[in-house]
Amino acid sequence: MTNIIPAIDLIEGKCVRLSQGDYAQKKVYNEDPLEVARMFEDHGITHLHLVDLDGAKAKHVVNAKVLERIASKTDLMVDFGGGIKTNEDIELVFDCGANQATIGSIAVSNPELFVSWLDKYGPERIILGADILDDKIAISGWQEITQIELDDFLTKYQEKGVQYVLCTDISKDGMLQGTSIDLYKRLKHQFREMSFIASGGITYLHEIEELSKAHIYGIIIGKAFYEGRITLEDLENFIVHGSRG
């Protein structure tokens, strides 16, 4: 089963989208993220990807109150990412009601801390964030591109017991020009034990169909929804009729 996972990106508590992670290219879509989350839930969506862009920049969780509102006032399974750098950050995120935490930068800069969270909270609650540009891992809200190859990164953490991986192709994100279908198919074939969440550039319904058939665990929908390329009715059809792989 493939999960359709809408994304809500947060800046100053508002629902926004960026293009290729560029904070200068910000567009506000809704002042109230809870309203957006409830709209998704009303159409049968069960999962939500909540991204604290302020937190990613500030290097600590900023929008915890928004998470708490959404988690307490909906039944959505929320995964929260952005700014989770310390034990206090991840405790705050789970205390505020997140079902899962997406961790990227710390898995690069402090692997021991990341593995300690994996051990403490369990692999079902920790999602490894693998944001890439030209197959290299990016961190700090995509402000820094490392020299770490994606496959090496995944191999290392597969051995540590990571189950969920959210992989974003930055070059595609927010551009409405399609996603990297071949990348996700290859990753699923190569790392069979891992559950991949595809993110970045999902624009067309046929991409959802292809990724579902490839048994990709989750598909994040962002700008395509907010710009009207993919509608709630379209997403409903995938949920109800089960083009889920």
Task: List the catalytic residues.
Answer: 9, 131
* Cross-strand partners of 81: 51, 102
Read off the amino acid at residue 50.
L
Q: DSSP E strands: which ranges in 31-151?
A: 47-52, 77-81, 100-103, 126-133, 136-139, 144-149
CA angle 145, 20, 152 (to 5 degrees): 35
Q: Which helix (H) or strand (E) holds 185?
A: helix 181-190
Q: Which neighbouring-strand residues pair with 3?
A: 218
* Beta-carbon count within 10 A of 11 CB: 20
Please state the separation of Cα 80 from the chain's center in Å.
Answer: 8
Q: Provide Rg for the chain, Cα atoms.
A: 16
Tell me the HSE value of 135 on the side-chain side, using a 13 A CA sphere. 7
CA-based angle 153:143:25, to the nearest 5?
A: 130
